[in-house]
Structure 1
Amino acid sequence: MTLTTDASSASASQKSLSRAFYTTAWRWHFYAGLYVAPFLIMLAVTGLIMLWSSMLVGRDGEKSFSVEPAGQTVAVSAQADAALSAVPGSALVQYIVPRTEEQPAVFRVDADGQSTMVAVDPYRGTVLGTWERRDSLYDLANLIHGTLLIGTVGDRMIEIAAGFGIVLVVTGAYLWWPRDGRRFARSLAPQLSGGGRQVWKSLHQTVGIYSALLLVVFLLSGLSWAGVWGEKMTQAWSTFPAEKWDNVPLSDVTHASMNHGGVKDVPWALEQTPMPASDPHAAHHGHAMPASSGPGDVDGIIAKARLLGFDGRFQLSFPKGETGVWTIARDTMSNDSADPLSDRTVHIDQYTGQVLADVGFSDYSAAGKAMALGVAFHEGDIGGGWNVALNTVFCLSVIFLSVSGIVMWWKRRPAGANRLLAPAYPVKMPLWKTGAIVMIAVSLVFPLTGLVLVSVLLLDMFVLRRVRTLKRALS
């Protein structure tokens, strides 16, 4: 009898402890969701806009025009002259090679601090249209997606939300995990019997568990662009070292100088790498090539790019200043190709035509390779239609999870309640070692999120639970 009583007591104590852990995880899931849900909705909506805008219009607007193939194309230099004539007093900055025979060539020209894109028929050399660079729906969505249109403050807020998104995934997985005799297989499908909040809860859990891994991938790849965890930590440690280039003079600017405002045009692994520099004294050193060979001419550089193996769509950036270089680039992140393994950036001396640097996917660090794949996947650029379809379903799932979380909270509230109704903190709550380890790990890996996490935890322990008015409002 004593053994039976002791066993029953131990079982009841274990259930009580398990319930306390469950309620604590639910409380953190609730608070994390309270902050994260609006950001997840914003990220999913703007992500869908960028995904489908890129598919239908093109990131640089090139799909807004089409051309009729006519055999031989005119020289790229003639196309460039046409682009310059469309914007008087402008200078050439970039040439985007057509992806297909039916697409136009696109040039970027700058005049008086204004960047203009010019579409040119490559077969006839005629201008098809002009538009302000980075002024499309895609670019507006991109800026909201990355900065909320408020610059650094917005970037930091999104970074904190992304870190809390990891907390949301971990606590959500714990809440979903089968317990109290519930079978694992039964947890993999929604239970639609009954009604009301329980159906919403079942749908929320099922969609959430299937989306969890993808959400972590999207959060981490997005965080790697963020200002603190990305640029100051992960990217700084993983950037391509310019010292790998053999005795090449380096510029005072980095590859990030090729970006356009908040829009990322340069591969993640190269952003913080110094640019190589052309030698303006090449003629004095006897290394300059004759003008007839055309190393400094766009036709000659394009011919060299073809010899180096560039085909399909790639981008050519013109030299800036007397030490600037020609840059030939193809990367999936810029929608040039559907294969991140083919990413490649080549820099050429504007005076000698010498290849100063040639960096491909295989040269990236492990983190650089992960980001080349991760960002391409994040943007729906890999392998064509399947990536677009998967990302579309994922974004819709994220919107559903956020909305259903709000619906469940609303249905749980008593009618007329004027308080938050967060899950109550257990009265007798011992140290939850696993939960503590998870929170410490998140705090160490994501500093901004950790700072907010610790602040909220201290606020919850020493203020919210002790001030009766606040405790009631947030309970």
Structure 2
Amino acid sequence: MSNKTNDIYRTVWRWHFYAGLIVIPFLISLAVTGGLYLFKDEIGQWVNADIVRVEAQTSPTVSPQQQLSAALSAHSGEAFRYVPPASPVHAAEVDITTESGRQAVFVDPYSGDVTGTLPYRGSFMWVVRYLHSLNYFGETASLIIEIVAGWTILLVLTGLYLWWPRGRRGGVMSVRGKPGKRVFWRDLHAVTGVFVGGFILFLAITGMPWSTVWGSKVNELANGHNFGYPDGVRVNVPMSDARLAENAETAWSLEQAQLPTSADSTSPSIGLDRAVATFDSLGLAPGYAVSLPSGPDGVYTGSIYPDDLSRQRVVHLDQYSGEPLLDMRYADYGPLGRGLEWGINVHMGQQYGLANQLILALACAGIVLLCVSSGVMWWKRRPAGRMGVPPEPSDPRRLRGVLALLAIGGVIFPLVGASMIVMAVVDGLVRRRGMQRAPA
């Protein structure tokens, strides 16, 4: 290996080490919680089976309004969402704002009896989801996730460079040695990385839409100008300042979409029963949710985001006339919105059924193995009492080309770029300290 090639290799290895130092603890957490969340429906139905499941009956169900009234009788407050049973063995859900906070109340649709209550978005799988996104730890934590995603991309790309055979055969697609030897862990790390690296890149990139800085800007671009259709082309009704995401779980690219307003507040509201009947007649897929009008100008919103993207749909009804004000389907999204939603759906293990879940679950297990093997490999390699940072290039000018490539990524992901500048400063201090310690 020439001096130039050796210097480039050392530089890439050094930045691969820094990237791993930053992201490995987060990668393990993301892999474990993400692997669990892939099976959110199955786990949620099992953990809360006594609350969310009922025995199917041949008798007719009580009306949606009766189900809502039963929930309000058990928990006084203001209902803001109703979810009809997704199947004959599912309970209906009524979400209520009470003095003690929001509650999800489940009602047997056949008897109208309350089967149980959970904190709204407080079930076990919502806890897993919030741990995955670090939502429990505030806005700053969301910034950290964005930085981690960017460094993860760097980790994979530098890892691929380090793995590249360059005429070698051992440790490329096979593992040499035994667990007591460092070469075993080095090969295990390299081979595992080859198999899961593509999945890590995919998950990091498709997870970026949830990030604070980059994600919010792309959200504005994807959502743009209220669904991306100018007034008069698709709808010609007044729009409110309320956003779709405020009262309903919605597609990521539609979170900032404005809600239309109901036109005539002098007529009586159509009520929940007629709203549900209208949504059923319009053919919304089972499992849809109904967001209730938030005031005299509010609308009934039916929304469904099933595993099959083609069945995603949002319908707004005038609460007085019952007429659809807007009917938006996945096919109506712009190209950017469709692409982002596809990536998110696959990221969550929804788009391709059980195969999607199992493949990503294996990838998550591979990510944990990758992180563990890197830790063991580093521990066996590091000098006693030192961090074991990979050696610096003999000619520091070799860093410039690598840093230029890093700068490009930093422009695309600004938060990541800022963190890279900090790490470059830290690396400079580490190299200076090393030169001061070096014998004359």
Structure 2 residue 34 is the aligned partner of structure 1 residue 34: no
The one-letter code of the counterpart of 1:182 is: R
Counterpart of 1:66 in structure 2 is 53
Is residue 407 of structure 2 the alignment partner of residue 440 of structure 1? yes
Q: State which drifts further: 196-205 or 365-374.
A: 365-374
Q: Which residue of 1 aligns with 2:189?
A: 204
> Which runs of structure 2 are paired with 1:352-371 in the superposition (5 Å)?
352-371=321-340
1:374 aligns with 2:343: yes
Does residue 1:253 correspond to 2:227, yes or no? no
- Residue-pair matches, total: 431
Alignment match, 2:142? 155
TM-superposed deviation, 1:418: 1.3
Tell whether the 8 Å contact from 2:81 to 2:292 is kept in structure 1 after alignment. yes
2:313 is the counterpart of 1:339: no
Deviations 1:214-254 (A, max 9, x none): 111111121111110101x2111111532444222111122
Alignment partner for residue 182 of structure 1, among 168, 172, 182?
168
| SS of equivalent residue, structure 2 residue 315 | strand
Match of 1:130 in 2: 117
Contact 1:56 1:63 in 2 (8 A): no
Partner of 2:219: 235
Q: Deviations over 1:128-148 (max 9, x none)?
A: 111221222222222222226
Q: Give the aligned partner of residue 73 of structure 2.
A: 85
Q: Distance in 2 between matches of 1:345 and 1:148?
A: 26
When structure 1 is superposed on structure 2, of 134-143 and 319-328 the one drifting more is: 134-143
Name the aligned partner's letter for residue 252 of structure 1.
Answer: D
Alignment-derived partner of residue 409 in structure 1: 378
Change (3 A) 1:368 1:471: farther
Instruction: Give the match's secondary structure for 1:352.
Output: coil
Distance change >3 Å, CA 271–CA 59, structure 1 → 2: farther
Task: Supply the distance in 2 between the matched residues of 1:218 and 1:271 (Cα, whole angstroms).
Answer: 21
Match of 1:314 in 2: 288
State whether structure 2 residue 431 is matched by structure 1 residue 465: yes
Residue 270 of structure 1 is matched in structure 2 by 254
CA-to-aligned-CA distance 1:165-203 (integer Å, 9 cap, x gap): 111011011111111x225xx766222345511111111
Assess, with a 3 A threshold, how the Cα gap between structure 1 residues 388 and 372 changes in structure 2: closer, same or farther. same
The one-character-per-residue Cα deviations of 1:3-53 (angstroms, maximum 9, x if unpaired) are xxxxxxxxxxx6222221111111000011001001101111222333344
Q: Aligned in 2, Cα 1:471/1:96: closer, same or farther, shift over 3 Å?
A: farther
Contact 2:54 2:91 in 1 (8 A): yes
Identity between Structure 1 and Structure 2 (%): 32
C-alpha spacing 1:60/1:320, structure 2 compared with 1 (3 Å): farther
- Cα shift at 1:373: 1.5
3-state SS of 2:259 partner: strand
Change (3 A) 1:50 1:346: same
Q: 1:100 aligns with which of 70, 75, 87?
A: 87
Q: Counterpart of 2:247 in structure 1: which amino acid?
A: M
Determine the C-alpha separation between the residues in 1 that align with 2:91 and 2:26: 37
Q: 1:319 Cα shift?
A: 0.7
CA change 1:434–1:15 in 2 (3 A) is same
Deviations 1:66-101 (A, max 9, x none): 2222222222222122111111x3222111122221
1:57 paired residue number:
44
Cα separation, 2, equivalents of 1:428 and 1:353: 73
Hey, what does 1:449 align to over in structure 2? 416
> Pick from 288, 299, 309: which aligns with 2:273?
299
State the alpha-carbon separation in 2 of the partners of residues 459 and 35 from structure 1: 13
Contact 1:443 1:450 in 2 (8 A): yes
Q: Distance in 2 between matches of 1:60 and 1:319?
A: 32
Deviation above 4 Å: which 4+ runs of structure 1? 58-64, 468-472
Q: CA deviation at 1:377?
A: 1.6
Choose 369-378 or 397-406, whichever is displaced more: 369-378
SS in 2 for 1:444: helix
Partner of 1:6: none
Per the normalisation by structure 1, the TM-score is 0.85
Q: Secondary structure at the match of 2:205?
A: helix
Please tell me the residue identity of whatever aligns with 2:19.
A
Name the SS of the counterpart of 1:57 in structure 2: helix
Distance, in Å, in 2 between the alignment partners of 1:304 and 1:228 is 39
Q: Give the deviation of 1:60 after TM superposition.
A: 11
Q: Distance in 2 between matches of 1:370 and 1:58?
A: 30
Indicate the structure (1 or 2) with the bigger Cα radius of gyration: 1
